[in-house]
C-alpha cells in the first residue's frame, strides 16, 4: 500500500525538478548581458543618415564609373552622394562653427572646401572622403567675407586655387595646399567682387569696388601674383556694392540708390560707365531694383516689384528684354555644354507643378528642354537648383536637376521624373514629442496569424538550433532574416509593450514629420502653412512642439493632436504662431498667428472636457494667455490658478525671477483669457563674479516610484521629491570662454538648487577651479552636472542628492501601521525646508555634448544617465556610479545594498555605448520616452543623424527576451506531460500487480 502512494510522488518530484530547470533557464536567458550581440544590431534600433539643407553642389560625372555629386550643407556637412540613388558615399561633418562657404573640385580628384569665413581651406579625396590637406589662411576679419574658390580648369598647368576676399588674394597649390603667393592689394576698403581668367592667358583679372564710388580692375600674374596692370575710375552717383560680371570686359552694377543699373566696361586701362535707363525696358518702372546672381555670360537677372526680368546684354549700352518670370522660381548657374555654348535652367512653380526650362546662349528665346513635373505640395517651393548635363543615347544633351526644396529636402529630377529624394530636413530637428499609435480596431486589421503551423515550427526550430549553437552559418543568416523581417515592430497599431509609437518632430524648415519607432520611416509629413514665409510673416521660425490633445475616453474615435508653436521673426516681441496638427494623419486642424509674442510656453497639467491640454503662453509683456480659449478651460484653470507659478531665466541680466498670476478680480482688462503676472521673487547673481551657464529642471512627466530610500542598517532617508527644483550653474565671467582662457584661481563654478515656487535656494555649492561648458540633468531628487576641472586638467561630473529631513522621523513601523505619520499630509513649499544634501565628484574622461536620463513608465527601474560624447555616440552610465554615498571601503551592509567602492573616475565600459558602433553625427539632443513595459526606455537621439533604440537599464526583468525559445518550452511541456502519463500508467500497472499478488 505504501509503495503505491510513492509512485505519483516521485513523478511529482520529477516534474518539480524539471520545472526548476526551466525556471533556471528562464533566469539565465533573462540575465544576459546588457550589451548587444552582433546579430542583434538593427532589431530594436535604427539609424538614419542625413546631410542637411544643401548650399552648394558640384557634379562629378565626366569620367566613367561612379557618378556622384558633392554637396555642402547648412549643417556643415560635406558629402558625396551617389547620383543614381542618392545614397551617401561619404560625408564629413565639420565643427559647429565651421560654416562652409564654398565647395569645388580640384584636379578632378580633390574636393576643396572653404570654411570658417574663408579662413580654412581643405582638400578631401573624392573617392573616399579622406582629408588630403588643410591650410589656414590669414584672413583679416575686417573685410566682408565675400569669398570664393576659383579652381583653375586648365589641366596642363600647375593648378592653383585662388581664395579672395576683402583686399587680399591667396593662391594655393591644389596638390598640397601650400600658399604659392599672396597678394595684399594695399588699398583700404577694397572689396573684390570677382576674379576671372580670360581664355588662355597667364593673367587673372580682379574687379572690385573701393569705397562706394570707385571701380578697380587689376591684372595679376597667374604665376607670381604680381600686379601687371591696375586701373580705376570713379562714378559720381556711387555703387551699392552689388555687381554681376556679364562679359570678360563688362560688369553691370547697381548704383547707390538701387534704382538704376550701371554698366562698366573696361579694356586696356580704360573704364567707361554707362547709366542704363530701365524705363525703356519697363515702362511703368519705379522703386528699387535687385540684382540677382546669375552667372551666365551676357545675361542679367533683375528683380523689379516682385517680378523677375531676364535681360540680355548686347553691348555696354544696350539691354534686350528676354523673359519675365514670376515668383516662386529658381535659377541654376551656367553650365558649359561646349567651348562656345553654355546653358542654364529656370524653374518655376505653378501651384503643385514645377516647370523646368533649360536655355542656352545660342537661342535665348527658345528652350533646349522643357519639362513639367508634379510635386508633392508638402515640399513647399523650390529654393535652389543645380544643373548637370549628360549625353543622351541619341547624342543630344540631356539634363538632370538637383533641386533643394523649401522643406530642405533634396531631389534629383531627370526626364521629368523624380529619380530619388532625400528628406534632409530631418537633419535639423528643433523639437520632438511622441504620440501613441491608434488602438487596434477589431475586424479592421486582425493580426495575421502565422501563415501556417509548419512554417512557425520551422522558425522556432531554427531559433532553437541557434540557441543551442548547432546552427550552420546559413541557418544563422536565415534566423537573422526572420528576425529582421518580422513585421511586428512596424505595425501601425498600439502594442502591448508600448514600443511602437510615433515620434513627431519639428524641423527648422517648419515641417512636422511623424516617424514610426519601428524603423524610422516617415508616416506623414506636413509643411506647416503658418511657418512658411508670407506677406504677414516674413521670417517665421519654429520653436517647440507639444502634445495638445491625448484622448483617453474616446481613444477609438478621436485622434490625438500636437501643438506647434513658432514665432514670426527672431525678436522676443515678434508675434507667435500657433498650429494644431492631427497626430495620425498630419492634417492641420487649426492655425493662427497670435496677437501677442511668445516668450515662454507652459503646458499645464490640466485638460478641458474634450481632453485638450491647457497651455499658458507668457508674452514679452509678462501677460499670460490661456489656450484653448473656451469657457470650459477657463473654469478648470480658475480652480488651479492660485497654484500656478513659473519662473524666467534672464541670462543677459543674470537674473532669475519667479511669478504667479494676479487674481482676476483686480484686473480690468477686457480680455477674458489674459492674465497679469505678479513677480514673487528674484535672484540676482552678482555680474562681476557669476554668469549663468546652464539651467536644468526635472521632466514634467517624470514619475518617481519610491519616495524613500532604504540605506544600510535598515535606515530610511526620504527623497526631497519636488517638481519645482531648478538647477542653475553659474561660472565666473572670466572663465566663461574656452577651456584654458582662465587660470584655476580665476575660475569658479557655483551650483544652485532653487525651489521655483518660493524662490528658495535649497543648496548652494562652489567648485573652485572649475569652468564650463556645463551640462546638467535633473531627475527625482538628484542632479548630475558635468564641467571641466582646471586644477586636475580633467572633466568632472558631480552629483547632488537632496533628502527631506522633515519627514525623517517617520521611521517607526508602528507609526506607519497606526497611521500616525505625516507622509500623506499635503506639503507646502512655503514651509521652511529641512533638507540634507549629499554630494560627490568624479572624474570623467569625455567631454559631453548633451546629457539625458532614462525614464520608465512607473519609475521603478533604476536610472541610467545618457551621455552624448564628443565622438557623437551615446553612452549609458548607471546612476549607481554617481552615488554620493560611495566610499572606499563600503561596509558589509553597504555592499549588500549595492554600493560600488569609490573610485576617483567614472568607468567607461565599451559595451555600454547604446549606439554600439554607430555615430549620430552632429548629436544635439537625446530624448527618452517610457515604454509601457516598466523595464524599458525608448531613446531617440538626433543631430544630423537620427538614432533610435530601446534600452533596459536593469535588464528586461519583466519580459522574456526576443530570442527566448518558445519551442524549447513547448517541447519540455510535451515531454513532461508524456512523462506524467507514462509514470501514471506504470504506477497503475504496478498497483494492479500489487493487488493481484
Partner 1 sequence: MGSSRGRSLVLFTLSTLLLVSIAGGFQSDELLQDDEEFGLEGGRPAADPALSTPTRPPIRRRPDPDLLSGSPDSKSVQFSLEHQFGGSGFFPAGTFTARLKSWSHGGQTLTKLRFSRNALTEEEKGAFERLLKEDGYYTIRVPSNVLTAPGRDFVVSSVRARCIPRESLDEHFIIHTDGVNIVAVNYGSAGACQYPRMLKYPAKWSFTSFTVLKNSEQAPRTPTFAEELLAGEDGLGEGVKPPEKSFWAKYWMYLIPLVFIVLNAMTQAMNMPEEQTAGQSTQAQRAPSTTVRRR
User: What DSSP designation does 441 have?
Assistant: P
- Give, in order, the Cα–Cα distances in Å from 263 to each of 276, 314, 802: 7, 11, 74
What single-letter DSSP state applies at residue 459?
A: H
794 binds partner 1 (CB under 8 A): no
Specify the residue, 173 or 682, whose C-beta has the smaller distance to partner 1: 682
Please identify, using beta-carbon distances, which residue of 476 and 902 lies nearer to partner 1.
902
Q: Does 639 help bind partner 1 (rule: CB under 8 A)?
A: no
Q: Give the shortest CB-825-to-partner 1 separation in angstroms.
A: 8
- DSSP lists the bridge partners of residue 985 as none
Residue 2 is a binding residue for partner 1 (CB under 8 A)? no
> What count of other Cβ atoms lies within 10 Å of the Cβ of residue 908?
14
Q: Is 973 in the site for partner 1 (CB under 8 A)?
A: no
Per rule CB under 8 A, is residue 904 in the interface with partner 1? yes
Residue 296 or 803 with smaller CB distance to partner 1: 803
Closest to 858 measured CA to CA, from 926, 930, 927: 930
Q: Looking at 680, 708, 860, 908, which residue binds partner 1 (CB under 8 A)? A: 680
Interface with partner 1 (CB under 8 A), residue from 273, 546, 685, 964: 685
Residue 377 vs 891, nearer CB to partner 1? 891
Query: Least distance (Å) from partner 1 to the CB of residue 904?
Result: 4
> Can residue 247 be called a binding residue for partner 1 (CB under 8 A)?
no
| DSSP structure class, residue 814 | H
Q: How far is the CB of 749 from partner 1 (least distance, A)?
A: 9
- Give the ranges where 889-928 is alpha helix by DSSP (H): 892-897
Gap between the Cα atoms of 640 and 340, Å rounded: 77
Q: Residue 834 interacts with partner 1 (CB under 8 A)?
A: yes
338 near partner 1, judged by CB under 8 A: no
Q: Least distance (Å) from partner 1 to the CB of residue 851? A: 19
Stretch that binds partner 1, among 223-231, 293-301, 548-556, 833-841 (CB under 8 A): 833-841
For cell 548704383, name the residue.
255
CB crowding 316-331: b at 16 or more within 10 Å, else e? beebeebeebeebbbb
Q: Binding of partner 1 at residue 501 (CB under 8 A)?
A: no
Candidates 360-368, 735-743, 761-769, 978-986 — which segment interacts with partner 1 by CB under 8 A? 761-769
Q: Residues for the chain: how many in total?
A: 997
Best CA proximity match to 118, nearest among 76, 160, 183, 164? 164
What phi, psi does 659 have (nearest 5°)?
-135, 155
The answer to whether the beta carbons of residues 86 and 411 sit under 8 Å apart is: no
For 633, residues 6+ apart whose C-beta sits below 8 A from its C-beta are: 606, 608, 612, 614, 626, 627
Task: Give yes or no for residue 908 binding partner 1 (CB under 8 A).
Answer: no
Q: Which is nearer to partner 1, 1 or 469 (CB)?
A: 1
Residue 121 to residues 150, 245, 573, Cα–Cα distance (Å): 12, 25, 40
Instruction: Report, in Å, the least distance between residue 849 CB and partner 1.
Output: 24
Q: Does 826 bind partner 1 (CB under 8 A)?
A: yes
Q: Which one, 454 or 996, has the nearer CB to partner 1?
A: 996
Nearest to 326 by CA among 308, 304, 299, 346: 308
SS3 203: strand
Please pick, from the candidates 338, 536, 888, 910, the single residue that binds partner 1 as defined by CB under 8 A.
Answer: 888
Cell of 500: 511602437
Output the smallest distance, CB 26 to partner 1, in A.
Answer: 23
| Cα-trace Rg, the chain | 35
List all residues 6 or more positions away from 568 whose beta carbon is below 8 Å from its beta carbon: 536, 537, 538, 539, 540, 574, 575, 576, 577, 593
Q: Which stretch binds partner 1 (CB under 8 A): 497-505, 532-540, 683-691, 908-916?
A: 683-691
The stretch among 119-127, 298-306, 561-569, 752-760 that binds partner 1 (CB under 8 A) is 752-760
Stretch that binds partner 1, among 68-76, 264-272, 750-758, 980-988 (CB under 8 A): 750-758
Q: How far is the CB of 30 from partner 1 (least distance, A)?
A: 24
Instruction: Return the number of the residue (306 or 828) whose C-beta is nearest partner 1.
Output: 828
Among 497, 610, 623, 840, binds partner 1 (CB under 8 A): 840
Residue 898 interacts with partner 1 (CB under 8 A): yes or no: no
- Distinct helix (H) and strand (E) counts, the chain: 7, 64
Least distance to partner 1 from the beta carbon of 180, Å? 53
Report how far residue 562's alpha carbon sits from residue 434's, in angstroms, rounded to the nearest whole number: 9
Contacting residue, 758, 873, 915, 954, with partner 1 by CB under 8 A: 758
State yes or no: residue 652 binds partner 1 (CB under 8 A).
no
Residue 407 or 804 having the CB closest to partner 1: 804
Which one of 47, 501, 767, 849 is in contact with partner 1 (CB under 8 A)?
Answer: 767
Task: Give residues 688-727 in contact with partner 1 (rule: CB under 8 A).
Answer: 689-690
Q: Does 832 bind partner 1 (CB under 8 A)?
A: yes
The three cell numbers of residue 578 are 500657433
- Report how far residue 956's alpha carbon sits from residue 934's, in angstroms, rounded to the nearest whole number: 9
List 176, 679, 812, 988, residue binding partner 1 (CB under 8 A)? 679
Which of 507, 758 has the CB closer to partner 1?
758
CB of 710 to partner 1, least distance (A): 15
- 655 or 811: CB nearest partner 1: 655
Minimum distance from residue 59 beta carbon to partner 1 (Å): 57
Q: Which helix (H) or strand (E) holds 772?
A: strand 770-779
How many residues at the interface with partner 1, by CB under 8 A? 54
Q: Of 490, 805, 911, 917, which lies in the binding site for partner 1, with binding defined by CB under 8 A?
A: 805
Q: Does 765 bind partner 1 (CB under 8 A)?
A: yes
Distance of CA 316 to the CA centre of its chain: 50
Is 845 a residue that touches partner 1 (CB under 8 A)? no
The partner residues of 590 in beta bridges, in order of sequence, read 580
Q: Which member of 472, 639, 824, 828 binds partner 1 (CB under 8 A)?
A: 828
As a whole number of angstroms, the distance between CA 775 and CA 487 comes to: 39
Of 19, 571, 605, 642, the one binding partner 1 (CB under 8 A) is 642
Q: Which stretch binds partner 1 (CB under 8 A): 257-265, 435-443, 496-504, 831-839?
A: 831-839
| DSSP secondary structure letters along 726-754 | EEEEEE-GGGSSSTTSS-TTT-EEEEEEE
Q: Give me the DSSP letters along 919-981.
A: --TT--EEEEEE-SSTT-EEEEEESSSEEEEEE-TT--TTS--TT--HHHHHHHHHHHHHHHH
**Taking the C-alpha atoms of 864, 866, 867 and 869 in order, what is their torsion angle to the nearest 10 degrees?**
120
Count of C-beta atoms within a 10 Å radius of residue 50: 28
CB of 679 to partner 1, least distance (A): 6
**Bridge partners, residue 468, by sequence:** none
Minimum distance between the CB of residue 894 and partner 1, rounded to whole angstroms? 9
Distances (CA, A) of 471 to 384, 437, 964: 54, 37, 16
912 binds partner 1 (CB under 8 A): no
| Among the listed residues 761, 749, 765, the one whose alpha carbon sits nearest the alpha carbon of residue 725 | 761
Binding of partner 1 by 305 (CB under 8 A): no
Q: Which of 115, 517, 597, 798 binds partner 1 (CB under 8 A)?
A: 798
Distance in angstroms (rounded) separating the CA atoms of residues 217 and 440: 73
747, 770 contact by CB (below 8 A): yes
From candidates 827, 860, 908, 971, binder to partner 1 by CB under 8 A: 827
Q: Which residues bind partner 1 (CB under 8 A)?
A: 642, 655, 657, 660, 662-663, 666, 678-686, 689-690, 750-751, 758-761, 764-768, 798, 805-806, 826-828, 830-832, 834, 836-841, 888-889, 891-893, 902-905
Amino acid at each position: 500500500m505504501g509503495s503505491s502512494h510513492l509512485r505519483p510522488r516521485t513523478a511529482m518530484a520529477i516534474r518539480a525538478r524539471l520545472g526548476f530547470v526551466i525556471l533556471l533557464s528562464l533566469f539565465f536567458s533573462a540575465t544576459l548581458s546588457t550589451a548587444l550581440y552582433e546579430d542583434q544590431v538593427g532589431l530594436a534600433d535604427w539609424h538614419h543618415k542625413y546631410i542637411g539643407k544643401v548650399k552648394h553642389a558640384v557634379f562629378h560625372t565626366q569620367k566613367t564609373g561612379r557618378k556622384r555629386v558633392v554637396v555642402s550643407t547648412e549643417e556643415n556637412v560635406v558629402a558625396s552622394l551617389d547620383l543614381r540613388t542618392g545614397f551617401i558615399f561619404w560625408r564629413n561633418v565639420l565643427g559647429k562653427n565651421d560654416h562652409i562657404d564654398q565647395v569645388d573640385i580640384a584636379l578632378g580628384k580633390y574636393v576643396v572646401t572653404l570654411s570658417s569665413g574663408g579662413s580654412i581651406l581643405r582638400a578631401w579625396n573624392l573617392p573616399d572622403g579622406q582629408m588630403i590637406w588643410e591650410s589656414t589662411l590669414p584672413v583679416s576679419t575686417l573685410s566682408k567675407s565675400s569669398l570664393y574658390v576659383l579652381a583653375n580648369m586648365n589641366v596642363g598647368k600647375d593648378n592653383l586655387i585662388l581664395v579672395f576676399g576683402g583686399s587680399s588674394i591667396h593662391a594655393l597649390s591644389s596638390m598640397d595646399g601650400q600658399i604659392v603667393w599672396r597678394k595684399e592689394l594695399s588699398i583700404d576698403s577694397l572689396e573684390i567682387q570677382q576674379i576671372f581668367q580670360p581664355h588662355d592667358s597667364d593673367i587673372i583679372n580682379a574687379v572690385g569696388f573701393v569705397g562706394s564710388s570707385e571701380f578697380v580692375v587689376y591684372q595679376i600674374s597667374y604665376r607670381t601674383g604680381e600686379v601687371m596692370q591696375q586701373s580705376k575710375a570713379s562714378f559720381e552717383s556711387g555703387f551699392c556694392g552689388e555687381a554681376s560680371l556679364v562679359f570678360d570686359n563688362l560688369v553691370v552694377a547697381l548704383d547707390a540708390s538701387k534704382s538704376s543699373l550701371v554698366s562698366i566696361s573696361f579694356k586696356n586701362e580704360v573704364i567707361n560707365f554707362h547709366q542704363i535707363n530701365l524705363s525703356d525696358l519697363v515702362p511703368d518702372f519705379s522703386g528699387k531694383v535687385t540684382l540677382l546672381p546669375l552667372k551666365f555670360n551676357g545675361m542679367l537677372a533683375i528683380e523689379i516689384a516682385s517680378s523677375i526680368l531676364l535681360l540680355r546684354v548686347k553691348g555696354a549700352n544696350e539691354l534686350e528684354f528676354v523673359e519675365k518670370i514670376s515668383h516662386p522660381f529658381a535659377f541654376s548657374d551656367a553650365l558649359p555644354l561646349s567651348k562656345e555654348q553654355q546653358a542654364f535652367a529656370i524653374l518655376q512653380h505653378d501651384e503643385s507643378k514645377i516647370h523646368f526650362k533649360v536655355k542656352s546662349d545660342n537661342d535665348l528665346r527658345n528652350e533646349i528642354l522643357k519639362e513639367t513635373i508634379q510635386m508633392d505640395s508638402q515640399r513647399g517651393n523650390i529654393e535652389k537648383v543645380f544643373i548637370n548635363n549628360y549625353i543622351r543615347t541619341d547624342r543630344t544633351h540631356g539634363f538632370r536637376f538637383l533641386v533643394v526644396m523649401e522643406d530642405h529636402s533634396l531631389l534629383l529630377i531627370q526626364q521629368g521624373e523624380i529619380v530619388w529624394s532625400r528628406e534632409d530636413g530631418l537633419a535639423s530637428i528643433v523639437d520632438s514629442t511622441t504620440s501613441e499609435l491608434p488602438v487596434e480596431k477589431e475586424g479592421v486589421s486582425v493580426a495575421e496569424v502565422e501563415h501556417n503551423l509548419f512554417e512557425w515550427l520551422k522558425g522556432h526550430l531554427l531559433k532553437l538550433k541557434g540557441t543551442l549553437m548547432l546552427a550552420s552559418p546559413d541557418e544563422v543568416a536565415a534566423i537573422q532574416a526572420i528576425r529582421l523581417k518580422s513585421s511586428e515592430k512596424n505595425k501601425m497599431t498600439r502594442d502591448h509593450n508600448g514600443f511602437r509609437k510615433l515620434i513627431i518632430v519639428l524641423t527648422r524648415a517648419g515641417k512636422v514629420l511623424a516617424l514610426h519607432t519601428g524603423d524610422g520611416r516617415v508616416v506623414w509629413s506636413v509643411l506647416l502653412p503658418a511657418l512658411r514665409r508670407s506677406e504677414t510673416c516674413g521670417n517665421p521660425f519654429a520653436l517647440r512642439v507639444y502634445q495638445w490633445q491625448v484622448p483617453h475616453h474616446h481613444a477609438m474615435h478621436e485622434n490625438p493632436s500636437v501643438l506647434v508653436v513658432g514665432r514670426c521673426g527672431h525678436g522676443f516681441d515678434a508675434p507667435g504662431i500657433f498650429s494644431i496638427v492631427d497626430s495620425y494623419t498630419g492634417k492641420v486642424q487649426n492655425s493662427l498667428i497670435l496677437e501677442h509674442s511668445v516668450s515662454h510656453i507652459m503646458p499645464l497639467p490640466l485638460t478641458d472636457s474634450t481632453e485638450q491640454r491647457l497651455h499658458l503662453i507668457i508674452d514679452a509683456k509678462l501677460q499670460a494667455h490661456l489656450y484653448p480659449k473656451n469657457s470650459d478651460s477657463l473654469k478648470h484653470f480658475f480652480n488651479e490658478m492660485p497654484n500656478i507659478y513659473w519662473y524666467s531665466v534672464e541670462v543677459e541680466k543674470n537674473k532669475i525671477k519667479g511669478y504667479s498670476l494676479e487674481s482676476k478680480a483686480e484686473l480690468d482688462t477686457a480680455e477674458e483669457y489674459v492674465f497679469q503676472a505678479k513677480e514673487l521673487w528674484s535672484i540676482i547673481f552678482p555680474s562681476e563674479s557669476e554668469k549663468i551657464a546652464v539651467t536644468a529642471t526635472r521632466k514634467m512627466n517624470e514619475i518617481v516610484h519610491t519616495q524613500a530610500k532604504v540605506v544600510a542598517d535598515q535606515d530610511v532617508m526620504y527623497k526631497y521629491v519636488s517638481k519645482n527644483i531648478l538647477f542653475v550653474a553659474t561660472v565666473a565671467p572670466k572663465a566663461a570662454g574656452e577651456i584654458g582662457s582662465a587660470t584655476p584661481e580665476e575660475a569658479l563654478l557655483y551650483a544652485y538648487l532653487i525651489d521655483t515656487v518660493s524662490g528658495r535656494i535649497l543648496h548652494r555649492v562652489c567648485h573652485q577651479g572649475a569652468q564650463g561648458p556645463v551640462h546638467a540633468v535633473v531627475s527625482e531628487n538628484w542632479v548630475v552636472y558635468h564641467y571641466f576641472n582646471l586644477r586636475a586638467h580633467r572633466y568632472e561630473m558631480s552629483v547632488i542628492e537632496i533628502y527631506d529631513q522633515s519627514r525623517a522621523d517617520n521611521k517607526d513601523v508602528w507609526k506607519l501601521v497606526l497611521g500616525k505619520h505625516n507622509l500623506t499630509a499635503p506639503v507646502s513649499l512655503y514651509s521652511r525646508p529641512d533638507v540634507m544634501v549629499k554630494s560627490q565628484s568624479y572624474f570623467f574622461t569625455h567631454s559631453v555634448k548633451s546629457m539625458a536620463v532614462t525614464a520608465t513608465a512607473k519609475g521603478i527601474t533604476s536610472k541610467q544617465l545618457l551621455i552624448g560624447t564628443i565622438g557623437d555616440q551615446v553612452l549609458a552610465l548607471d546612476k549607481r556610479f554617481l552615488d554620493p554615498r560611495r566610499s572606499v571601503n563600503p561596509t558589509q551592509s553597504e555592499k549588500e545594498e549595492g554600493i560600488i567602492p569609490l573610485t576617483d573616475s567614472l568607468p567607461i565600459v565599451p559595451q555600454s555605448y547604446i549606439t554600439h558602433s554607430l555615430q549620430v553625427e552632429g548629436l544635439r539632443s537625446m530624448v527618452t520616452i517610457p515604454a509601457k513595459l516598466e523595464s524599458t526606455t525608448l531613446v531617440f537621439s538626433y543631430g544630423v543623424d537620427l538614432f533610435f533604440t530601446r534600452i533596459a537599464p536593469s535588464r528586461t526583468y519583466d519580459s522574456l527576451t526576443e530570442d527566448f525559445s518558445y519551442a524549447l518550452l513547448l517541447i519540455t511541456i510535451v515531454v513532461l506531460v508524456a512523462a506524467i502519463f507514462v509514470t501514471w500508467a506504470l504506477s497503475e500497472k504496478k498497483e494492479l500487480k500489487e493487488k493481484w499478488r
